[in-house]
Structure 1
Amino acid sequence: MDYGEGNKIITLCTENAGKVGVLVRGAKKVKSRHAALTQLFTVGEYVFFRNGTGLGTLNSGEINQSHHLLREELFKAAYASYACELLDRVLHDEETGNFWFQQLHACLQALEEDKDPAIIIHLYEMKILQAAGYGPELYSCISCGRELADESFFISPMLGGILCRSCKHLDPPAMSITPRSLKLLRLFTQLDLRRLGQIDVKDETKKELKSIMRAFMDMQLGLNLKSRSFLDQMEKYEM
């Protein structure tokens, strides 16, 4: 965000200091030596001074990865912005650290490497839900506890997991889910973004996953994210 005539305040997700707000003096000036360090999605080493837990002030820095391709391609920028805003809005300063630095880094890297952005983001959303304490129950009925095998599945974003047919009445709007999508959601709960390879998912399955994950994010977190609204507009344009 802009601050004053020539300054910026940036938010850093760091490996060892949590989530930190840092003032970068002169960042908006044409000849600023720090301007590049304030670009979105930049990975680098930042040296800043902070008195207590307040706003820090940048002293110097060095870029490791600029991720300029994410800023240059509109669709990639939309997905990457959503990943960053989601992390910023859901997790508090003290909850971020090495794990979330690595997950965000892996998410941006995967987007830049042209891996399926929808799958990357749904996996990332699942990690966010789990970190916030809203990870869904996907192996047994959320109500009666019965393990579900060869039968019709329903998933309830409101109740936080899958329902058997006998318990479906507890949430009439519960959504049906195909075995393929359920298998992928279970994989998302266990998979680290750093281990994500190429996953080939059919369009109808991706459509189902998007509907389910959107319902979970809305029901459990209830966030109004500008980046998601923009992403929705971009996806409509892409179609």
Structure 2
Amino acid sequence: MLRSLQGIVLRSMDYGEGNKIISLFTPELGKVSLMARGAKKVKSRHAAVTQLFTYGDFVFFKAGGQMGTLNHGEIVEAHHKLREDLYMSAYASYLVEMTDRMLGDEEGSAYLFEQLKAGLTAIESEKDMQIVVHLYEMKMFELAGYLPVTDACAACGNHMELTMFSPSLGGCLCARCRFKDNQAIAISEGTLKLLRLFTRMDIRRLGSVQVKPETKTELKICMRSYMDFHIGIQWKSRSFIEQMEEYDI
């Protein structure tokens, strides 16, 4: 069946002497694997449109559960800057890696597609990359059914004095329950407010934000700990981001 859909390239890998296989994320069909014949060749009409992060219009043939074949592609947004800047490339890679590894084949989500598109645009527009990533991580938690509890204590339901964050118990803890998890992370009021905001904010509405360095550190610890506990995937792109942070690249 011949399909014509918009999509974002999540992964692009060489196959054989001149071909590429791409993982394409579309709002209607979700994640689709396509063979792009001859795309490795410099003069190929598929060379540009199959690059990582590319958002475009794709025409492809797909029958049943078989891998599709790319017939034609037109670039809507190339996202050159995301591939050329080391920091932007690392954070954008984390967004597409999460999408690629956490979604099953042909698991569609028009909303998630718009969030990914907005996230890549926000990074390229030089908005706070860490904040963009945390917002998208929340979308992934929601997709997986692990959205953290931020409006009440995850242990007792109390809405007051939420001072800790517990990945193992599923969210924030009040002062009374803080000792139920000795690995819980102390959080400030500013961090709590942002965690609550992240659970419901549309990335398309993200403007310029200024977050205190200490708040960003708390957020990073909370979100990475929660991701590791509930999702348990070794993210290649996040490991690279952590290396950049460690060596202050």
Q: What is the TM-score with the length of structure 2 in the denominator?
A: 0.92
Asked if 1:77 is matched to 2:89, the reply is yes
Greater CA drift, 160-169 or 218-227: 160-169
Taking the aligned partners of 1:236 and 1:178, their CA distance within structure 2 comes to 24
CA positional deviation for 1:30: 2.2
Partner in structure 2 of residue 213 of structure 1: 223
Q: Is this contact kept in 1: 2:119–2:136, CA < 8 A?
A: yes
Aligned residues: 237
Asked if 1:27 is matched to 2:17, the reply is no
CA deviation digits over 1:133-185, x for unaligned, max 9?
0000011111111112xx36111001111112222232111111101000001
Which of 183, 202, 213 aligns to 1:173? It is 183
Asked if 1:13 is matched to 2:22, the reply is no
Q: Is this contact kept in 2: 1:154–1:163, CA < 8 A?
A: yes
CA positional deviation for 1:54: 2.0
SS of equivalent to 1:136? coil
Structure 1 unaligned runs (5+)? Answer: none
The AA in structure 1 aligned to 2:165 is I
Partner in structure 1 of residue 167 of structure 2: 157
Partner in structure 2 of residue 201 of structure 1: 211
CA positional deviation for 1:230: 1.1
CA deviation digits over 1:54-75, x for unaligned, max 9?
2100000100000000001010
Asked if 1:238 is matched to 2:248, the reply is yes
Taking the aligned partners of 2:236 and 2:199, their CA distance within structure 1 comes to 26
Q: Is this contact kept in 2: 1:6–1:27, CA < 8 A?
A: yes
Q: Is this contact kept in 2: 1:13–1:97, CA < 8 A?
A: no
CA deviation digits over 1:175-231, x for unaligned, max 9?
111010000010001100111111110111111110110100001101101111111
The AA in structure 1 aligned to 2:183 is P
Structure 2 unaligned runs (5+)? Answer: 1-12
Partner in structure 2 of residue 130 of structure 1: 142
Q: Decide whether aligned partners of structure 1 residues 152 and 142 sit closer, same or farther in structure 2, where only a CA change above 3 A counts.
A: closer
The AA in structure 1 aligned to 2:21 is I
Q: Decide whether aligned partners of structure 1 residues 73 and 94 sit closer, same or farther in structure 2, where only a CA change above 3 A counts.
A: same
Which of 68, 75, 93 aligns to 1:63? It is 75
% identical equivalent positions? 56
CA positional deviation for 1:237: 3.5
Q: Over the residues paired in the alignment, what is the CA RMSD in angstroms?
A: 1.2
Q: Which has the higher helix share?
A: 1
The AA in structure 2 aligned to 1:59 is N
Taking the aligned partners of 1:21 and 1:159, their CA distance within structure 2 comes to 37
Taking the aligned partners of 1:77 and 1:22, their CA distance within structure 2 comes to 23
